[in-house]
Amino acid sequence: MKLRMGLCSLLLLASSVQAAELLTSSESAGLLKRMAVSARILNYSGVYLYHHTDVMETFRLVHAYDAGGEQERRESLDGIPREFVRNNDQITCYLPNVRPFMLDRRAANKFFPGVIPDQILDVLNNYSFKRLGVERVAGYECQSVLLEPKDKLRNPHQLCLETNTGLLLKSTMFAPERGDLLEHFVFTQLDIGGPIDKRALKSVLASKALPLEPQPLPKALPAPLGGASQFVMANLPSGFRLVKEALSKLPGKADPVQHFLYSDGMATVSVFVEPASSNPVALPLSRSNKTVNFYSRQADGWRVTALGEVPLRTVQLFTQAFSVR
């Protein structure tokens, strides 16, 4: 018994020493690549839990990789049936009695466990990687790694990668200071490797959905709005870069809104700019649902709104960084 206790404390000591181990840049980059590759090229099937703010949901996921590439189907097991069917970089979402819609490539690269950072370098610049202990998730051992932000503009993330394959088994986003859990993905049941029955990859909801919407051809930005050139972005929160820019048609709004998407490699922030008159509301408006923070401000007849999976201060800084040229 004494020996066992001694062993236990030795193990505890070992794990606490290990907890401080900082990964080098190449180790960190390797980890991110390995995580992305394994999610793509392995066969796996299982059930995972998704928890954010007040909501807990489960999804069943089947992923296969062969000469034809990546095929995947995930379906919600709770609430409204929803289905996300992947064919390589394209994910089609099906809901009963709704037209199916497609997600673009970037969005398709953010689905658990196939989380591919926009820019690996950005992740390395903004987060320190710390190796934590080995955990056990869905029957598999996984190496836990903490992505600790180097400043207060973003949230810490913790990833747990299956020891042999590097497949992401668990992903958690925490609040910076109090460490509250903001968002959590975790496999509860998983089989890695082995053949996948083709039938399991077939959409079930496709037959119940409305016919697919024809894909509109991409159009150029209308000249009068002219994209980012109309606005000055000064003192943007550090570590974020513009990854996408578009005119988004928002539900319930008549006119399209300028939409800028920023990423620090892990977290994203959207900035929307629109004429203030189009939506009179008491401003500045600030809302938080823990996972996503929201801030809206009005200046020079324009309304600037920022939201993202970052601390409130960060979205606030984004709205202040935008001004009209």
At 205, list the tokens: 């909801």
If one asks whether residue 242 binds another protein (CB under 8 A), the answer comes out as yes
Amino acid type, 149: P
Residues 311 and 182: their CA atoms lie apart, in Å, by: 11
Stretch touching another protein by CB under 8 A, among 4-12, 126-134, 152-160, 183-191: 183-191
Closest-CA residue to 43 (of 19, 68, 77)? 68
Sheet with strand 241-248: strands edge to edge: 241-248, 257-263, 268-275, 302-308, 293-299, 285-288
Site string for another protein, 259-288 (x = CB under 8 A): x-x-x----x-x-x--------x---xxxx
Q: Which member of 28, 38, 155, 314 binds another protein (CB under 8 A)?
A: 38
**Cis ω on the peptide bond leading into residue 156 (within 30° of 0)?**
no
User: 87: how many CB neighbours lie within 10 A of its CB?
Assistant: 15
Question: CB-wise, 111 or 231, nearer to another protein?
Answer: 111
Residue 307 forms beta bridges with which residues?
270, 294
Which of 15, 18, 25, 188 is close enough to bind another protein by CB under 8 A? Answer: 188
Residue 128 CB, shortest distance to another protein, in Å, is 20
The phi-psi region of residue 136 (left if phi > 0; otherwise alpha if psi is between -120 and 50; otherwise beta) is beta
Identify the residue among 8, 19, 22, 107 touching another protein (CB under 8 A): 107
State yes or no: residue 206 binds another protein (CB under 8 A). no
Window 75-94: residues binding another protein (CB under 8 A): 76-80, 82, 89, 93
Residue 267 to residue 182: CA distance in whole angstroms:
13
The residue count for binding another protein (CB under 8 A) is: 106
What is the nearest approach in angstroms of another protein to the Cβ of residue 6?
25
Sole binder of another protein in the list 111, 127, 240, 302 (CB under 8 A):
111
User: Binding residue for another protein (CB under 8 A) from 87, 110, 208, 236?
Assistant: 110
CB of 92 to another protein, least distance (A): 12
Q: Which two tokens stand for residue 11?
A: 């193990």
- Residue tagged 């505890």 (tokens): 12
Q: Smallest distance from the beta carbon of 78 to another protein, in angstroms? A: 4
Contact letters for another protein, residues 142-181 (x by CB under 8 A): ---------------------xxx--------------xx
User: In degrees, to the nearest 5, what angle opens at C-alpha 214 toward C-alphas 208 and 216?
Assistant: 145
User: Is the Cβ of residue 127 or residue 158 nearer to another protein in the bound state?
Assistant: 158
**Tokens of residue 302, six digits:** 């324009």
Given a contact cutoff of 8 angstroms between Cβ atoms, the answer to whether 325 and 217 are in contact is no
